[in-house]
Structure 1
Amino acid sequence: MNILIKEEDGLFRKGIEEIFKTLTSSTAAYTLNFSPEVTDISNNVDIVVLPLCKGEIKLCSPFLENPDCRLMIGILDENEVLPGTLPACYMGTEFIYRSDSFDRVRQVLIRGLIKMTSRNVMHHDCDCIGCLDGRMTRPQMHIMQKIIQGKSPKQMADEFGINEKTLYSRKKLLMNRFGLSTDYELINLMRKLTFRIPVRNI
């Protein structure tokens, strides 16, 4: 069984590996492979453990669609609240928080493994058209890209041909939409997803 853990925190990653090993040690049905060669979601992986930055859970992310993956586990920060309706690409995903106790993480992984054995793959038809609310418009993406480039509000407003008040209003709407409260969270989200997010032609 190939397991991809994309977590950068080595201690956290090692802890998840050890829990998986403990849960599967009593059965010969599972041979775990945490091989460093397995580095991409598109590779032949059975389980993906993926850290999600604030706001990412509210975005349509079709790059997560992998016909081989049988279980997806998302790692959330403490202040992230799961939305009532998830984008289609996160359906069937199990979630843990960084602050969760050992027992809670163990319970989630057990539940995931049980679900995994009851179906061949996690794959479902990803209807991105139904996820329009989880996509960013071109103006929103442009604002995020300019922030990443270090442009000042005045420079951005001049480039977009709008006044600074309108720019702040658009930025605030964008941040509210994805539950972001600081520029750092906005930049973090942008850095992770610039080349992955479907963009609406608006």
Structure 2
Amino acid sequence: MVNIVIKERDRFYLSGMKCLLSELFENSQQREIHYFDEFNELSVQEADIVILDLCHGEIHGCIPELKLRGLNIIIGVVDNIKNAPVKKSCFEDIIQVPRDISPAEFKEKVADAWGNRYGAVHYSSKNTCMRCCHKTWSAQQSRIMHLFYQGLSASDVACKLGLSEKTVFSHKYLAMRKFGLETDYQLHSFLRYVQSRGVFL
């Protein structure tokens, strides 16, 4: 049996992924698939494969559910892949897959990861948070990002915090750069993710 947990917002993409995984494991390898209903620490700990829908910048943040992960395959579905190395300990061995990858390439990546799984060195999850170098915003950047999330313009944020617009834009630029965000769309997508987690970095 193959235990799989998937965190994916797009129901059509999720349905397509399940069809591909079914073709790969149930049809080709005659292995039954069990999908966990929820993405949480327990399901991540028990899963053989964890598939995450990662928005821009999320790979640089902390995902607490991954703290207790064992020897499992982590696949991150991303909008685009940057060649920058991932330093965060939760994501050291993540397999990044672009969202627009072909079905054949997706199955090949999962099959390769599954084949390599048994020869891999065991991933030690002990003290990963102690050596984790995930990024955070300064207190001022966090306040500014929170106000942007609420829909305020740069001039409104500057007025509310008693700063110049230039200072607000500078903080916005630095905050976006920390998480590899290049556009306002990516920033707002990341802010929605952060808000959904109930934390502002």
TM-score normalised by structure 2 residue count: 0.81
The 2-side partners of 1:71 and 1:22 are apart by: 18
* Cα 1:62–1:94 shift into 2, 3 Å: same
Q: What is the aligned partner in structure 2 of residue 77 from structure 1?
A: 79
| Equivalent residue letter for 2:35 | F
Q: What is the aligned partner in structure 1 of residue 59 from structure 2?
A: 57
The 2-side partners of 1:159 and 1:179 are apart by: 27
List gaps (5 residues or longer) in structure 1: none
Q: Is the 8 A contact 1:74 1:94 kept in 2?
A: yes
Q: Deviations over 1:165-185 (max 9, x none)?
A: 111111111222322222221
* Cα 1:72–1:159 shift into 2, 3 Å: same
Q: Is the 8 A contact 1:65 1:123 kept in 2?
A: no
Q: Is the 8 A contact 1:76 1:96 kept in 2?
A: yes
After TM superposition, list the pairs within 5 Å mapping 1:183-198 onto structure 2. 183-194=184-195, 195=197
The 2-side partners of 1:198 and 1:151 are apart by: 16
Q: Is the 8 A contact 1:61 1:196 kept in 2?
A: no
User: Once the two structures are aligned, what percentage of the paired residues are identical?
Assistant: 26
After TM superposition, list the pairs within 5 Å mapping 1:27-176 onto structure 2. 27=29, 30-34=31-35, 38-44=37-43, 45-46=46-47, 47-67=49-69, 70-78=72-80, 80-118=81-119, 124-125=125-126, 127-132=128-133, 134-176=135-177
The 1-side partners of 2:17 and 2:58 are apart by: 21
Q: Residue 136 of structure 1: CA displacement? A: 2.4
Q: Deviations over 1:125-149 (max 9, x none)?
A: 3534544462222222222111111
Q: What is the aligned partner in structure 2 of residue 11 from structure 1?
A: 12
The 2-side partners of 1:133 and 1:66 are apart by: 17
The 2-side partners of 1:86 and 1:189 are apart by: 19
Q: Deviations over 1:109-129 (max 9, x none)?
A: 012212334469755235345
The 2-side partners of 1:69 and 1:140 are apart by: 36
Once the two structures are overlaid, the 10-residue window that deviates more, 190-199 or 170-179, is 190-199
* Secondary structure of 1:33 counterpart: strand
Once the two structures are overlaid, the 10-residue window that deviates more, 130-139 or 177-186, is 130-139
The 1-side partners of 2:86 and 2:145 are apart by: 24
The 2-side partners of 1:91 and 1:127 are apart by: 11
| Equivalent residue letter for 2:106 | V
| Equivalent residue letter for 1:39 | E
The 1-side partners of 2:186 and 2:6 are apart by: 22
Q: Is the 8 A contact 1:48 1:72 kept in 2?
A: yes
List gaps (5 residues or longer) in structure 2: none
